[in-house]
Amino acid sequence: MAVTLCGCGGEDEAVQIQLTPDQREEYQAIAASRIDSLRPLLDSLCSATFEDRVAVATDSIVQRRLEEELRLRARLGQSPEQ
């Protein structure tokens, strides 16, 4: 596994570092523990915003279908009231 590091200075100079198998295992363990500690927060954010995201997605789908219907009616020469 190669890791690319970028500095905070003006020039973005990438540094390639090749990890040993032990270092890779340690890195993966640290990453897994941090992800596990964030999971409850992420799950609660997902639960809190679920209804709003579903409503937005539903509105988007309905809007696309209405636009599609208008295009088809225009192509067929029909008015929207028919």
Q: How far apart are CA 68 and CA 41, in angstroms?
A: 39
Q: What share of the chain in percent tops pLDDT 90?
A: 67
pLDDT grade, residue 15 (50/70/90)? confident
Q: Provide CB contacts within 8 A for 3, sequence distance 6+.
A: 16, 17, 19, 27
The pLDDT, as a whole number, for residue 53 is 94
